[in-house]
Chain A
Amino acid sequence: AQKITQTQPGMFVQEKEAVTLDCTYDTSDPSYGLFWYKQPSSGEMIFLIYQGSYDQQNATEGRYSLNFQKARKSANLVISASQLGDSAMYFCAMREGYNTDKLIFGTGTRLQVFP
């Protein structure tokens, strides 16, 4: 069965530094998509970045990039130049297969950015 693992319950980073949030996944399907969402304390889920299993290049969206290592089944989120507003929960999620849009979420990592 598909599974998403986020092993870091909490991370700290100083403002303006880069931080990497880990995500590993398990699937036997060659076709899948990986997503990262941010959940601030206000509760809403904000889409950050997407990586498809057949994408040749790592996805980037502004200060967010996804370090996709297919052989290791990892999809780590890199946030560059951290800002205080980046403090939030971050969830990695996977969509598996051709005929489903449902997302399987990891347990999340709480990131705290300090001045």
Chain B
Amino acid sequence: DSGVTQTPKHLITATGQRVTLRCSPRSGDLSVYWYQQSLDQGLQFLIQYYNGEERAKGNILERFSAQQFPDLHSELNLSSLELGDSALYFCASSAGTGKFSYNEQFFGPGTRLTVL
């Protein structure tokens, strides 16, 4: 158990809908990362938040947005869903400050999203 929790574990929805994925980082970790794992694209970095502020952005679609709340939990919002959005979405956390140092990322169990 990495200490990172994600809910829900599975999510099945229809095209055009909107969903929210939730992540609670390990106790004390200030950074939260979101990754998408799909058969087509592999594991891709989406976005990072550090202590409530966006720190880095990857290949995140405009239909997707995220935020990190004062209690450090994070939510990833996916809207106008398409079939291609079906994937395993991981949240990870680290103590990371963004400065170069050894900052292991601990991954949550993932949320499997299926868009029908």
Contacts and interface: CB of A to CB of B under 8 A. Distances in A.
B100 A44 contact: no
A47 interface: yes
A18 interface: no
B43 A100 contact: no
Interface stretch (B16-24, B67-75, B102-110): B102-110
A47 B56 CA distance: 21
A108 B41 CA distance: 12
Interface residues of B, number: 30
Contact of B105 (A43, A99, A101): A101
A31 B99 CA distance: 11
Contact of A97 (B100, B102, B105): B100
Nearest to B58: A102
16 contacts: A43-B88, A43-B112, A47-B106, A50-B102, A99-B100, A100-B55, A101-B33, A101-B56, A101-B96, A101-B98, A101-B105, A102-B33, A102-B56, A103-B105, A105-B42, A106-B42
Interface of B: 2, 31, 33, 35, 42-45, 48, 55-56, 58, 88, 90, 92, 94, 96, 98-100, 102-110, 112
Given A52-B102, A103-B45, A103-B105, 10 more contacts: A35-B104, A43-B109, A44-B2, A45-B90, A50-B104, A97-B100, A102-B56, A105-B43, A107-B42, A108-B43
